Chains A and B, each alone.
Chain A
Amino acid sequence: MKILLTANLVPFMRGGADYHIEGVARALREQGHSVELLRFPFRFQPEAEIERLMAYVESLDMTAPNGVSIDRVISLQFPGYGVNHPDHTVWVMHQHRAMYELWDEKQANAEQRHLKSAVHAFDNCHLSKARRLFANSRRVAERLHTYNQLEARPLYHPPYNAERFYCDEEWGYVFCPSRLESLKRQDLLIEAARYLQTPAKILIAGEGGQRERYRQLIEQHGLDDRVRLLGGFSEEEKLAWYAHAMAVFFGPYDEDYGYITLEAMLAGKPVITCKDSGGPCEFVSHGETGWIVAPEPQAIAAAIDDAWHNRVRSAEMGRCATAAYHRAGISWQQVTEQLIGGKR
């Protein structure tokens, strides 16, 4: 089957999305399909640039460019799903979040308001035309339902290097790997350290814009002997640090999907997350494979203390988490079967 896969490209800002896009392309090729990957350069600013890209994409008819007929278009991101094709499958990684759940009515200017209504109209029009509509997670499906009254099926995919995660003896620390950004809320974890009754340690890995603020927070509360910002890390370090953790903290605000949860489960570790964290809550089962608590430092500290007080049970919860991951049947094989085979 000749498949055109569309996505965006934000030059030199590689992240989880790139891994996801390349993963889909590779998996489809392994299934024997011819795949062309079409990536649209994406700029967040200015607003007019986004509208220009939307208009351009909408103008593309990919049914049979240059007389070569394409069997299927699969789109992963806004605005690629605007491309015209009679058999269009959309697997929404996330919408243009700034115009949806991250929209701030008070801060918005006229241009942004204009863009917002344009994006909503664009999404309503093109997503409803898709032959099959999937969402990256239940959370993303919920948003499509809430904002666009569209029904999408959640379709999960495995994290990078899924087969390499392993579990080893736990060394009594809570591991938190994420970019250091406000939405990831590492500050909740740092603040939680102030309320710990047990000597559990906290290791926060990753780089990002909030590093200085987090560093000051640690210093300000004198938590230097309990909390450590590890900075950037290699793939090997990530594996090792997951392997020896007692538990993993991942409490972002309204995350779409969140590889961290799945990675922790693969590494056999229980996950501490928050009620409003979105994606992670789809995978963590409170009391069985982790803790879902209020997004407050005291509640997080209580969960960490709980993990520490019964470390044998915490390890058991980790094993349950691995089992839960495998039960969920998350694999590229499953992804391609759904993308190609499933009917809407």
Chain B
Amino acid sequence: MSQTFNDIDGLVNRLKVVARQIDTQSPSSEPPSYTWRHCLNELSEDAYKQDVLNLHHPCFEELFAPHLSDELFIDRAYQILMGRAADSGGMNHYLDLLPRAGRLYILAVLLCADEAQAYLARENVVIPRRGALTLPFRIAGKFGPLRRGVHVVLRPIYRMASIAIRPRLRLLARLSCLEVKEQRNGELIRDILIELDGETQRLLATLESQGAQLGSFEHELDQQKHILSEQERYQAALWSALQHHRRAVEKLASSESVVNTSEQSTQLSQDLIDAWYLAFEDACRGSEDAIAVHLRKYQPQLDIALAAGNKALDLGCGRGEWLALLTEQGFDPHGVDLNIAMIDHCQHAGFSVEQGDIIECLRRQPDNSHALVSGFHIAEHLPFDVFYTMVNEAHRILVPGGVLILETPNPENVLVGSHTFYHDPTHRNPLTPTAVTFMLRYHGFSSVEVLRFNPYPEEAKVPGDDPLTARVNGHLCGPQDFAAVGLKRAPVKEGEASDNEMMAKRADRALDDGEVSV
């Protein structure tokens, strides 16, 4: 155990209290315990010993002892004047004499005794008013043989004097008793206060350190909570992976046709990869709420598309969050996805979906048949020729006034381009806003707009508003996704081309400035 004192005076005071508690008499090697409590006990005990403070310099009232019984008075007188207890002979004699002569007389007699005079001289004891007390005796001594008679006269005089001064001495005795008590109590109270002060400081320090500990526990708890929620997410992913495996096995078992072994193994390994991908998506995509909030940002584009019709095709529809929003907005959406588990999920939710290749699906659609074609986070998975064909086919099947939305990770954010993009091993290359914009224009979309989403939260940014900070924040904390939105128009009328150019210029300027806010 240890404790720390910040204040050296407090430390020294407390050490002095401990020292005062050490009993000089008892040779114990045990440390004194809880000294303040000990003091408190002593304070509440009123057992104050009515002893003579200083045997070498007794006060007169101590000698006279007005508050003590006759026996105790005689005992004390012997103690002070001769350094011993009264013998029984002396005691009886003086007890007998007391009622007639009073205490002053007894004291005078004792003071004149040879034993007392020798003792007082040897021990250097100073008796107050010794001269006055014994003066009559000394005078009586001069009467020689007559002194016995003189003593008979002296006794009542001494007695009268004793009676006369007794009230005053009683007060003095009481006063000195109170003084002693007061001094002792003062010392005890001071010690208790010092101890309690030390104890309080120590408790405060303990509290403080426990507070700090609590803080660290809270922090740990937060981390544990985070880990738990991560695990909950993985649990869902594992569960769906399990289902996927089940379906794959069922599919294999039900296929009666004899498949050659190499095909079978290819089929199985694709299933395994699909299952892994589903689990990966479940673990790494945002929450359903967050996705729904994000998709709502496309409301203006949806409104434009709705003006052209209500047929919509979602390429790589996944779990169907977008299909749900389209249905809610009055579209008649159809989804296509390669992943059988995703398709199962969407069918279960009641959406019109199919499992298959997006290009094949696009090719089946007639010209000018759709108001909206969308592909969320699909373009970055595609080889160039497929991407090219996808945009080309999308333009073909859109009605004039129809809208193409392609959302993909935004490599303008350096961390996306260099790091987060590669979380997904099925990603090929980051696509830049410029490249996607050009691809759409090239295939005939008359107006192409770039929308940027999901910047890092404000608290992640470097504080400051100078150009350098803005640039750092733009490149490291800017939007993590962008969408190229293309509008298919009827054959060009005058004026529209210039609008497009202006829009393109705006986009370019934004890139040059590194100003990538939405």
Contact = CB atoms under 8 A, between A and B. Distances in A.
A244 B28 CA distance: 16
Contacts of B14: 171
B2 A164 contact: no
Contact of B30 (A166, A173, A201, A315): A166
Contact of B12 (A170, A224, A228, A246): A228
Interface residues of A, number: 32
B124 interface: no
B5 A240 contact: no
Interface string B1-45: 111111110011011101111101001111100000000000000
Contact of A172 (B3, B16, B22): B3
Nearest to A244: B15
Interface residues of B, number: 24
Contacts of A166: 28-31
Instruction: Identify whether the interface residues of B are mostly helix, strand, loop, or mixed.
Output: loop
A237 B22 CA distance: 8
A201 B2 contact: no
Given A199-B6, A225-B8, A237 B1 contact: no
Interface in A178-208: 199, 201, 203
A169 B3 CA distance: 8
Contacts, number: 75
A170 B5 contact: no
B11 A173 contact: yes
B29 A163 contact: yes
A230 B5 CA distance: 17
Contact of A235 (B4, B15, B21, B24): B24
Contacts of B2: 169-172, 246, 311-312, 315
Given A237-B16, A240-B18, A244-B18, A171 B11 contact: yes
A228 B18 CA distance: 18
A238 to B, nearest CB: 8
Contact of A236 (B11, B12, B22): B22
B5 A201 contact: yes
B400 to A, nearest CB: 79
A226 interface: yes
A326 to B, nearest CB: 13
Nearest to A226: B8
A241 B22 CA distance: 11
A54 interface: no
Contacts of B31: 166-168, 243
Contact of B1 (A169, A173, A228, A240): A169
A243 B27 contact: no
B393 to A, nearest CB: 73
A107 interface: no
A98 to B, nearest CB: 36
A168 B1 CA distance: 9
A236 B27 CA distance: 11
A165 interface: yes
Closest 5 CB pairs of A and B: A240-B19, A237-B19, A168-B31, A236-B22, A240-B18
12 contacts: A163-B27, A163-B29, A172-B2, A199-B4, A226-B8, A228-B12, A240-B15, A241-B15, A241-B19, A311-B2, A312-B2, A315-B2
